[in-house]
Amino acid sequence: MRERGATSGELYVRPRIAVIGIRSGGVALTTAINRGTKGTMDAALQTVVVGSYADADEAGIHFFAWDADSGTLTPDGTVTGVTNPSYLLPHPTRDRIYAVGETTDYEGRAGGSVAVLARDDSGQWSVVQEVFSGGGAPCHLGLAAAERGLLVANYMGGNVAIIPLTPNGDFAEEAQSVRQHQGSGPHVQRQEAAHAHCFLAGPMGAIAYTADLGCDAVFAYEVAASGDRLTPLTGLTYRARPGAGPRHLTFSSDGRFGYLLNELNSTIDVLTVSPAGGLACRQTIPMLPPDWSGHSTAAEVLIHPHGRWLYASNRGHDSLAVYAIGADEGHLTLVGHVPTQGEEPRNFRISPDGRHLIAANQRTHTLVVFRVDEATGRLSAIGDAIDVPRPTCVQFLR
């Protein structure tokens, strides 16, 4: 194992005493976070964590106290030690946060890394493990069914992998079962090769799906119950329109529908999910106004916790597109577009209670909070923008 320096982020070699390829150790927070024990804080106060592009010695992971009633964010500490932690994923039942290290060179190997943050008894978060991701520029993470494995999408590597997890949510090994995608698309600069852009468990549990921007496809894999093996399900491959550039995918809570965001042509494919896990397109809807003529690419897509609305972000148009979801057929109807009060909204997250949405404007270095109208799903910005360098991912902690 390897231990990180607590202040500089430099790496120090220790004798390997456990799993080869895993770094362990602590990176101290600049300030304590989540102060107090469970039950001592106001019930309305929660925690928001934000990932960003940053060098290992910079504060790349930012924590905020979140007031669920007022929609207020208060800075509450940072973590250093991970290079470009551009995507974060909290464990749903353990005090663990997973962070990609979006690089193409990890300890002399052609690829990036994935780190684990753990919270100690005092409430402080620190980086305790880091492993090879299996490919270059990991950009998205998902949890396999029963949290036995962590799903990893490597953008520059054009592949996906799975990292086995221990019962407490730590890494048991580095990335396993690396599956290389093959293909390209008509967009010369962006689709010269495979570019896996997300990887998540589907409604079937044992089947995971990855959207590949370079291949114009969604590939499906069977995930072993042991959390260490991926088996391609070639018969379930979904082909998007040439040049669409699939980026992110989300599913309705009942598992009947999927919503595929296409980055390059700024559209959303509404998909039906068959009992066997196959995907079929029943609607394609644009994300941009018909009179828009500038350059824009799509970034994130999420369904409101109540299941009535879907939101998607436009980088260039710098807006959130709001759609109503048809209760029976899952079709989308545009409600409107809301400016994100900044440039390049790479990511956003809806609060668990559905009352607020936080948008991360990467280019203008801000977080902006919106209130969600409970009747229409429309958004209205509240409060002042919060400064965060190059924010790329927002997550609410349980």
Q: What is the DSSP letter of 227?
A: S
Question: How many structural domains is the chain composed of?
Answer: 1
**Which domain does 235 fall in, by range?**
2-396
Q: What dihedral angle (degrees, nearest 10) is formed by the CA atoms of 301, 305, 310, 314?
A: -40
Beta-ladder partners of 213? none
Cα distance between residue 115 and residue 22, in whole Å: 9
Q: What is the pLDDT of residues 65-106, one digit of tens each?
A: 999 999 999 999 999 999 999 999 999 999 999 999 999 999
Taking CA 84 as the corner, what is the angle to CA 320 and CA 368, rounded to the nearest 5 degrees? Answer: 30
pLDDT at 27: 41
Give me the residue label for tokens 């499906």: 220
Across residues 357-382, what is the average pLDDT? 98
Is pLDDT above 50 for 30? Answer: no
pLDDT at 5: 32
* Burial label, 313 (beta-carbon count in 10 A; 0-12, 13-18, 19+): buried
Cα distance between residue 53 and residue 138, in whole Å: 13
Is pLDDT above 60 for 304? Answer: yes
Is pLDDT above 70 for 25? Answer: no
Cα distance between residue 381 and residue 320, in whole Å: 12
pLDDT at 233: 98
Is pLDDT above 70 for 39? Answer: no
Across residues 114-137, what is the average pLDDT? 96
Is pLDDT above 90 for 32? Answer: no
**Percent of the chain at pLDDT above 90?**
87
| Residues 4 and 23: beta-carbon distance below 8 Å | yes
CATH number at residue 196: 2.130.10.10
